[in-house]
């Protein structure tokens, strides 16, 4: 069980407490997946379960959370782009709405008052940010002088 502390509340109730993560393993019997973010451990051998909660303090401040989300969404968008995943038709609103519902309703963030609402909102914002970065990758970065068809100053 992993208990996540956020804005003075222990988030859990449904989704987070049942999350199981491999934390202790023999290095000579394991290897990491080749993923840029959220990589897992591939273990050659049996797995035992520790009893009792793991107290998780992932973000000491909102600023640190936003910085981490910015890094992760860039890596995730690049991973999706390389896999050929196209942005959805609803733009960033589709993924944002899905993640908000998942965090707030399905995982029970509504049970944690303001902290749960803020967390669900940040989950939605992260999904929208990931989607926007995926759109940018598919369209290619536009130079400021060509945005909207405008031309930059002539040279020579």
Residue 30 lies in a domain: yes
Tokens found for residue 149: 């068809």
Bridge partner list, 71: none
Residue 12 lies in a domain: yes
Residue 96 lies in a domain: yes
Residue 152 lies in a domain: no
For the chain, the straight-line distance linking the first and the last C-alpha, in angstroms and rounded, comes to: 66
Write out the residue range of the structural domain in which residue 125 sits.
2-141
Residue 150 lies in a domain: no
Alpha-carbon gap, residue 11 to 33, rounded angstroms:
28
pTM of the model: 0.75
Number of domains observed in the structure of the chain? 1
Q: Are strands 9-11 and 2-6 parallel, antiparallel or unpaired?
A: antiparallel
Residue 98 lies in a domain: yes
What are 24-54's pLDDT values in tens digits?
Answer: 777 788 888 777 776 677 888 887 787 877 8
What are 79-136's pLDDT values in tens digits?
Answer: 999 999 999 888 889 999 999 999 999 888 999 999 999 999 999 999 999 999 999 9
Task: Give start and end residues of each alpha helix (H) in the chain.
Answer: 62-82, 93-101, 113-139
Kindly list the distances between the CA atom of residue 71 and the CA atoms of 64, 65, 137, in Å, as whole numbers in the listed order.
Answer: 11, 10, 15
Residue 81 lies in a domain: yes
CA atoms within 13 A of residue 143's CA, in its CB half-sphere: 5
């Amino acid at each position: 069980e992993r208990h996540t502390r956020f804005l003075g509340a222990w988030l859990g109730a449904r989704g987070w407490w049942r999350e199981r993560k491999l934390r202790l393993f023999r290095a000579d019997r394991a290897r990491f997946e080749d993923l840029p973010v959220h990589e897992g451990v591939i273990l050659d051998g049996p797995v035992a379960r520790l009893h009792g909660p793991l107290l998780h303090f992932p973000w000491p401040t909102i600023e640190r959370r936003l910085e981490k989300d910015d890094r992760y969404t860039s890596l995730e968008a690049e991973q999706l782009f390389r896999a050929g995943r196209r942005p959805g038709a609803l733009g960033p609103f589709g993924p944002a709405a899905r993640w908000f519902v998942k965090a707030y309703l399905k995982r029970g963030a509504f049970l944690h008052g303001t902290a749960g609402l803020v967390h669900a909102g940040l989950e939605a914002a992260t999904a929208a940010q990931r989607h926007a970065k995926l759109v940018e990758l598919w369209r290619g970065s536009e130079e400021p002088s060509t945005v909207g068809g405008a031309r930059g100053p002539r040279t020579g």
